[in-house]
Amino acid sequence: MFLIRKFEERDVPDCAMCFYESFFDCPLTENDRAFLRDYAQVLAEKCSFTYVAESEGQVVGFIIGHYKKSFDKSLAKTHDAKPHYKAWLRCFFKFAFGGYKMSAPFKAQFDVFYKKLKENGKDTPLACDCELMALCSRKDFRKGLGTALWEAFQERCIQSGVKTVRVFTDTDATYTFYEKRGFKLVWEKPYSFGTPGRSLVYEYKL
C-alpha cells in the first residue's frame, strides 16, 4: 500500500504538510507554509537518515533517525541526505527574530508544540544509539502507514548495528503506537507549563 524509500530534497513540501497534520489543525497562510517547509527540511536533513512513505505519488509520512556520536563517530558522520547547515542556521535565526511573520492562530498552536518540545531537557534519558521521530498525514492514520515506516526504520537500525532506540513523545500524541510495537516506557514527567499531560520517553531493544 505504501512505497517506503529514502528522503529526497523534492519531498520537502509534502513532508512539511505531514508535520503540519501531525500537530496542527488551524488554517495556514503562505508565511506559515514557508516556515513549515524550512522546518521540515531541517528535520529531514539534520538527521543521519530519513525515510518517506509514498502513496499514489505523494509523500504521506516520514521517519527520521539520529545517531548519537557517542555510539559510533564514523556512523554519526554518515548521512543519506547532505545536511544543509546554512539552511538550519537561516531557519533558526529567522524564527528567533520573528522573520517568518506567522499568523496568530498558527503561532499559538506552534508555541504549545514548542513548549512540549522543550520538555526534552537535560533530565530526559535519551542516551541511546538512535533517536526516532515519525510524522504522518492525518488522512493516513490507522492504515498501516506508521507500521510500514517503523519496519523500514527498524531494518536500517539492524543493518547499522543499533542496539537501543528511544523516542521522546507525550500523552497528547499517539504514544500507544509505540507500546503496541514493544517499546517500553522508561521515563515520564508532567508538563512544566501548567497544561494537563505528560512528557514520555519510550525505549526499544533490538
Low-confidence residues of the chain: pLDDT under 70: 68-79, 81-84, 137-142
Residue 99 half-sphere exposure toward CB, CA atoms < 13 A: 12
Give the pLDDT of residue 82. 64
Give the domains, in start order, of the chain with CATH numbers: 3-205 (3.40.630.30)
Task: Write down the pLDDT at residue 105.
Answer: 98
Tell me the three cell numbers of residue 26.
488551524
Q: Quote the CA–CA distance of 36 and 30 in Å, as a whole number.
A: 10
pTM of the entire predicted model: 0.87
Helix spans in the chain (H): 12-23, 30-45, 73-76, 85-96, 104-118, 145-160, 175-180
Tell me what pLDDT residue 186 has: 94
Residue-level pLDDT at 71: 47
- In this predicted structure, what is the pLDDT of residue 78? 60
Taking only Cα atoms into account, the Rg of the chain, rounded to an integer number of angstroms, comes to 17
Give the pLDDT of residue 148: 92
Query: 82-93 burial string, b = 16+ CB within 10 Å, else e?
Result: eebeeebeebee
